[in-house]
Structure formats: structure tokens, C-alpha cells
Amino acid sequence: MSYNKRLSFEFFPPKTESGMVKLRETRSTLGRLSPAFFSVTYGAGGSTRDTTRNAVMDIHSDGYDVAPHLSFGGDDEASVLSLLEDYRQHGIKRIVALRGDMPSGMGMARLVYANELVRFIRHHTGNHFEIEVAAYPEIHPEAKSYEEDIYYLKQKFDDGANSALTQYFYDADAYSWFLESCRHAGITAPIYPGIMPITNYQNLARFSARCGASIPRWVAKQLESYGSKQDDIINFGIELVTRLCENLLAAGAPGLHFYTMNQSEPTSSICSNLGIRAEAG
């Protein structure tokens, strides 16, 4: 089996120098899998403006394509534009445009919807950036309905986005159904499934409850039964996520976007199972 679709890896910006050193090792390992790009998240409300930029520039200086995530957060138009110009001048060519969430403990008048940010980027920078947006096969937690969430996803494409990366999920049917519904709604752009490898059940359960990603009951029960046996959790997770990726690719996924949590494993093992070969080096 060989893999010939788009591959991308997501990181969060390290807070410390040792975190940055570890991230360099991770990206050098994952870089051998020839990803189309790496992406770096942006903290709620712009809380990681500098660390995201630093990580982006560090990855870019190694010759990789890298996409900063960006949202308005609490910023005004001038600061968002200045960050965009900074990225443009440094040769960054891709942005993941998001609304983001309300930072805890910080009041804010209004969150700027992602489609408005996409429009803003296109207005000020033309076609310089390839724009990725977020999509939710299990539907965004605040969406009023399935149809309405897809309507607003279409809005992001109509305003100039090129493709979407999804929230993670563990039910391949949710993605197939979503793809079909998007096609019916007139969305023709590629929608890349977001893949979350499993390393820690408690963290995954907590985060999933917050972001509206469901963990199938049988998967939760299986993970719970391993207790603190970390190797069993990892091995089960690799097997489960490999099968998920195989099903998604068979269902027409145009590629895969991995939430790596800044670790090369278990993403590398899943990629290897999928026939994604590392270049020598």
C-alpha cells in the first residue's frame, strides 16, 4: 500500500526553549514523511501571538511550508493586518483562519466569525495566502442545526477559503455523511479530516467534551479498561486510528491532517501502517 494524498501535521507553540528543542526533533522526524505543510495553533484571544509567530518562523527557516492559525480574538483590525503583513513578507503562504473561542476569564464584546476573517484576509492580501478553515463532521457545539453549520461552512468558502480541516472524530460515517451533505449544499472544496491519535484517555475525554467530539462508547469502555497501562492504550489507539484513516481514505478523504500534540509518536506509527514512507536522512 502506498499513500499519495495530502498530509499535514499540527503543532501548538511551545512556551519554553526546551519545548522548542523537542518540537524541532518532532518536526524533523515527521518532516521525513514529506508533509504538504505543518501548522501552528493560535491561543484563544491571541494569547500566543508571539510564541505562534516564533514557532512558525522557526519551522519556515528550516525550509518547510508552515501555516499559522489565526483568529481576531480581542485584536483590532490593525494588529491582525500587521501580523498578516509580517507573515506575507516572510514568505508564509498559508493561513488557517478561525473564529477561535472566548478566552476564559476575559470578557470580549464579540468574536469575529471565521468567514469574516477570510473576507478580511482576501480583501487585504488578495490571493497571496492559501486559506484553510475549520469544519465539524459532528457539528460545531454552538451551531443551531446541522444544516446551519454547513451553511456557514459554505460561507467561508464563498468568502475565499480554499479548503477545510476538520475537528477530530472517531466515527468514519460522520465524515462520509458530512462530505455528502457538504456536496449537496454546493461545497466542492476539499475537506481534510483531522486525526487525533490517542495517548491519554482522561485528557482526550475532557477535551472531547469541551469541543463537541464524541468518543464511541465501546472505545471509551475499552480505553477505561486499560487503566494506567499506557502501552495498551497506545497500541489500541494506533490500531483504532489506523483503521479510521483507512476507512476515511476509502470514503474519499483527500488527505489527512494530524493533531500531533508536538509528539512524533503515535502519529509516525499510524503513518507507517498507512504505507506513508519516511525519506532517508
Q: Is the peptide bond before 216 cis (omega within 30 degrees of 0)?
A: no
- What ranges make up the beta strands (E) of the chain? 6-11, 37-40, 66-70, 94-97, 130-135, 163-168, 191-195, 255-259
Residue 10 annotated in active site: yes
Rounded CA separation 179/181 (Å): 5
Number of H helices, E strands in the chain: 10, 8
Shortest distance (Å) from residue 146 CB to ligand FAD:
10
Shortest distance (Å) from residue 98 CB to ligand FAD:
4
Q: Give the closest residue to 9 by CA, choosing from 272, 274, 268.
A: 268
CB nearer to ligand FAD: pick between 113 and 226: 113
CB nearer to ligand FAD: pick between 147 and 224: 147
Q: Which residue carries 454547513 as its cell? A: 150
CB nearer to ligand FAD: pick between 139 and 233: 139
Shortest distance (Å) from residue 9 CB to ligand FAD:
12
Shortest distance (Å) from residue 120 CB to ligand FAD:
13
CB nearer to ligand FAD: pick between 144 and 277: 144
Going from the C-alpha of 259 to that of each of 31, 145, 213, the distances in angstroms are 15, 26, 14
- Residues of the shown chain interacting with ligand FAD in the complex, contacts defined by CB under 6 A: 41-42, 44, 69, 71, 96, 98-101, 113-115, 134, 140, 142-143, 148-149, 152, 155, 165-167, 194
Which of the residues are catalytic?
A: 10
